[in-house]
Amino acid sequence: MKIRKANERGHADFGWLSSFHSFSFGEYHDPGHMGFGPLRVINDDTVAPGAGFPTHPHADMEIISYVLDGALQHRDSTGGGSIIRPGEVQRMSAGTGIRHSEFNASQSEPVHFLQIWILPERRGIAPGYEQKAFDLAEMRGRLRLVASRDGADGSLVLHQDANLYAGRMGPGDSSVHSLGAGRLGWLQVARGSVVLNGLQLATGDGAAIDAAGDLTVAGASDDTEILLFDMVA
């Protein structure tokens, strides 16, 4: 297990946007952190009221938006458009090419979200997107599957052999996830703090796991929120 501390991440501040990069992104380049397995990007973004990313292109990437606070407005060239709020998760498949924009839906409050890029298992798929709302109670004290290759348990469908779990934990809450042989795991602490197999992790920390075995995650503060990736190596 290798820990990626929050203060080691790249950071970009454009005034309207504060973005922390777990992996190389944009002008931040770190040869030692180019991704982990098919996981390519975890950006921890806070966008000022009324601001956002104007229309821009993507191709051959699975892009997941996970909102922590506020509301994120999305539009894309497939005709899709929506507002993403806490408890809702969106997957956009860029495939052969897509153009989209993302803006803070509020004129008074910031929006805080994680944007995640996962390499698809093959290039050239048809562009598309999917968004679902998950009951926050289903994430309390457990890991709730929110995205997977086969859409199991009502999760979003990913074009990659990767499972994404979301959990909300407080003191006294714990969950165990078994990582199989030939799999990679990445735990991202979106906020709060947890203990992972005896190691304390705080807001913004990540942990890369490349050995099979049980992962025990225990809440160590109120309102902790985590994401766990279980991926093909």
Residue 152 phi, psi dihedral angles, 5° rounding:
-60, 150
Strand partners, 230: 163, 185
Q: Are residues 26 and 115 in the same domain?
A: yes
pLDDT tens digits for 17-59? 999 999 999 999 999 999 999 999 999 999 999 999 999 999 9
C-alpha–C-alpha distance, residues 61 and 93, integer Å: 6
- Show which of 84, 108, 133 is a domain's final residue: 133
Question: Same domain for 93 and 20?
Answer: yes
Q: How many domains does the chain have?
A: 2
pLDDT of residue 149: 97
Q: Within the chain, which residues score under 70 in pLDDT?
A: none
Same domain, 144 and 126: no
Question: Is residue 68 a contact partner of residue 129, using CB atoms and an 8 Å limit?
Answer: no
Same domain, yes or no, for 123 and 58? Answer: yes
Q: Which two tokens stand for residue 38?
A: 């098919």
Closest CA to 191 of 201, 182, 179: 201
Do residues 141 and 82 both lie within one domain? Answer: no
Q: CA-based diameter of the chain, in Å?
A: 48
The reply to whether 66 and 124 lie within a common domain is: yes
Count the Cβ atoms, other than its own, within 10 Å of residue 82: 16
- CATH number of the domain encompassing residue 222: 2.60.120.10
Burial class (CB in 10 A: 0-12, 13-18, 19+), 95: buried
Confidence at residue 25, expressed as pLDDT on a 0 to 100 scale: 97
Position 20 in a domain: yes
pLDDT of residue 148: 98
Same domain membership, residue 98 and residue 160: no
Of 98, 133, 168, the residue that ends a domain is: 133
For the chain, the residue count is 233
Pair (176, 226) in one structural domain: yes
Report how far apart, in Å, the C-alpha atoms of 21 and of each of 133, 147, 155 are. Answer: 26, 21, 26
Domain of residue 78 covers 10-133
Claim to verify: residue 42 and residue 117 sit in the same structural domain: yes
Inside any domain, residue 59: yes
Sheet hosting strand 17-21, strand order edge to edge: 10-13, 17-21, 39-47, 111-118, 62-69, 88-93, 128-133
Report pTM. Answer: 0.96
